Structure 1
Amino acid sequence: MIRKMQISDTDRVYQIENESFFEPWSKKQLIRELTQNSLLSHYVYEDKGEILGFYIASKVLDLVEVFTIAVDKNYRKRGVGSELLSHLIDKSVKEGASEIWLEVSTKNKRALALYEKFGFERVGIRKNYYQKLGEDAYNMKRILK
């Protein structure tokens, strides 16, 4: 089940974020953005009471930007990421968005394959986007209308 994130979810979300990214959001930042930033949407994927993944995105006017999407390392390749991305796309369409944008490491082959499966296209490159890793990122976009 995919539902809105709650404060009580932040420990688990932080754990997934921390194991998924080199420079994760802090727990304090997750809580602050959840409680104070009305432009962001926070959703979790929950199964049998356990959070297996989540996403955070914003919608300004008709553009959606994905800030982060992650799945617990023990539940990858089981469709959780696809369900989260499908939810995000469906929600964006219902809210009248025309495009969804995101950045992804050029080395993250698994994420690239997922995004391309859902119709995202590489439209640019951001050199040294992940500075501490020395990695570039693709700008990706999916047109909804």
Structure 2
Amino acid sequence: MISIKQINEKDIELCCELDRNTISLWSKKQWANEFKKDGTKIFGLLIKNLVIGICVFQVVLDEAQINYFVVNQKFREKGFGSYLMIYLIKKCEKLNLKKLLLEVSQSNVSAERFYSRFDFYTVGIRKNYYKDGSHALLKEKKLTTK
């Protein structure tokens, strides 16, 4: 059974473990800081009780910034990421947000292709943004508010 639930600080070890096994983006301290930020929501994608994906987004006024989006490698290209993204988009539309923002490494072709399927388009570039020297593509999706 697939479900999505809001994750809170008591689940920080699950977040750290999934991060370590995928993109290794944040330390435990950085995860702890995310839980404390105003307007930040953290959702987990679960199969039974196993967290296979996480989305962290922060609402600021009438926009949301995706700060973290990942699905465990074993579950990629099976529709789970799309399931989580569709949930996120609907959630943001219910909140009457106007747009959804994110950044992705220009070298992460599969992620860029994934986001383009949801009508995210590049609105800017941060040159040499990542440690490996790759550029960050700033992406935006306009939302339809209800």
- TM more than 0.5: yes
3-state SS of paired residue (1:114): helix
For residues 97 and 30 of structure 2, what CA distance do their matches in structure 1 show?
A: 26
State yes or no: 1:63 paired with 2:63. Answer: yes
- Shift in CA distance, 138/11, structure 1 to aligned 2, threshold 3 Å: same
2:11 corresponds to 1:9: yes
Map of 2:136 onto structure 1? 137
**Which stretches in structure 1 are left out of the alignment for 5+ residues?**
none
Q: TM-score, normalised by structure 2?
A: 0.91
Q: Distance in 1 between the 2:60 and 2:110 partners?
A: 28
In structure 2, what is the equivalent of residue 28 of structure 1? 29
Distance in 2, matches of 1:33 and 1:123, equals 25
Q: In the aligned structure 2, how far is the partner of 1:88 from the partner of 1:134?
A: 30
The structural deviation recorded for 1:32 is 3.4
Matched with 2:21 is: 19
Task: Supply the distance in 1 between the matched residues of 2:34 and 2:103 (Cα, whole angstroms).
Answer: 19
Q: Find the counterpart in structure 2 of residue 111 from structure 1.
A: 111
Q: Using the alignment, how far apart are the partners of 1:129 and 1:119 within structure 2?
A: 23
Deviation at 1:25, TM superposition (A): 1.1
Residue 113 of structure 1 and its aligned partner are, at CA, apart by 1.1
CA RMSD of aligned residues (A): 1.3
Q: Write the letter of the residue equivalent to 1:3.
A: K
- For the residue of structure 1 that corresponds to 2:77, the secondary structure is coil
SS in 2 for 1:16: helix
Q: How many residues align?
A: 142
5+ residue gaps, structure 2: none
- Where in structure 1 do 4 or more consecutive aligned residues deviate above 6 Å? none
Percent of aligned positions with the same letter in both sequences? 31
The farther-off stretch of 49-58 and 3-12 is 3-12
TM-score, with normalisation over the residues of structure 1? 0.91
Structure 1 residue 18, shift from structure 2 partner: 2.1
The answer to whether residue 29 in structure 2 is matched with residue 41 in structure 1 is no
